[in-house]
Amino acid sequence: MSVKNVAVIGGGSFGTVIANIIAHNGHKTQLWMRDAEQVESLNVTRQNAVYMPGLDLHDQVEATHDLKSVVEDVDMIFVAVPTGSFRSVVKQMRPYLQSGVILISATKGIEAVTFKLMSQILAEEVPDARIAVLSGPNLAKEIANRSPTGTVIASKDAEVRKLVQDTLRSDTFRVYANNDMLGVEFGGSLKNIYAIIAGLADAIGMGQNTIAMLITRSLTEMARFGVVLGADPMTFLGLSGVGDLIVTCSSPLSRNFRVGKALGEGKDLDLIINELGQVAEGINTLKQVKEKADQLGINMPLASSLYEIIYNKAGIDHIIVSLMLEETELDVEFVGKAKLLGK
């Protein structure tokens, strides 16, 4: 199978840079955006002035707000819309998709109420599709500036993994392959919670010792949670796990980090979200994960403390108390496969 025509659903920052990479690799690339005015502006100026100003887009990138024309007769579709609208957009696409189309989720999050990952939504809504997920330490502005970047494509289908690698790979964008979709998705979703905590810690002047402890304890919680739900613990030690966690916990380009920092500075959450102008998935993910962890009896003191701060107005020092009281370590035995002890 060869890939000729590709669609990207979602004209935010990440959708835009991914579409541009694909176009530079010789594929006709259609970019779906909700806003007709933004579509017109992009096609005329060759820039996404709202989400990625300054990035000149390849001539092969064509924006449109007509979903039917974007997705019919294409070989591969990247879906990069917020979790809150993910299922509804996929449902709108479904009647126009060709059988066996490759659908790749580029959205990091968990659906409210159902606790479904985006790959699970794709499988439910388009059962005959070939499904994959894309995740990693992928700050869109750095990709746009051609900073060397790695990402992970995860799928049970080896051919799909290879096709996505060929479609996305460039001299500054390396695509690694994995077959653990659960682990890759949980890594991309859960790290947003801890990026908010890192922003809080930065705002109140915590030192590098604290940040290092915070990141490693966060990794423990992520792996503990993911393994109980069926993920491979080794995935969390890779690019889509600890790699993504490090970048989102240390960069002001991370939306979730910025939310946490603003909270630490005493700003109101609703005002922060309005000023951000984009979705910070960590806020929604936190609620879903806290409820699931309580249901399954999974120990997640950092996530629980952040929940208390955001939803029950607890003091910010709640996080530091959690760090100092948590004693469980992540022990990994390399006996053919890693095992998580004390989960």
Closest residue by Cα to residue 16 from 105, 80, 103: 80
Q: 295-321 as b/e, with b when 16 or more CB fall inside 10 Å?
A: eeebebbbbbbbbbbbeeeeebebbbe
**Are 137 and 246 contacting, i.e. CB atoms less than 8 angstroms apart?**
yes
Q: How many angstroms separate the CA atoms of 105 and 237, rounded?
A: 21
Q: Which two tokens stand for residue 213?
A: 């402890």
Helix (H, G, I), strand (E, B) or coil at 148: coil
191 counts as catalytic? yes
Q: Which residue carries 């790979």 as its tokens?
A: 169
Q: Is the dihedral of CA 28, 254, 248, 313 positive or negative?
A: negative
3-state secondary structure at position 150:
strand
Pairwise CA distance, residues 82 & 278, whole Å: 9
Of the residues 108, 116, 191, 290, only one is catalytic, namely 191
77, 103 contact by CB (below 8 A): yes
Indicate which residues carry an active-site annotation: 191
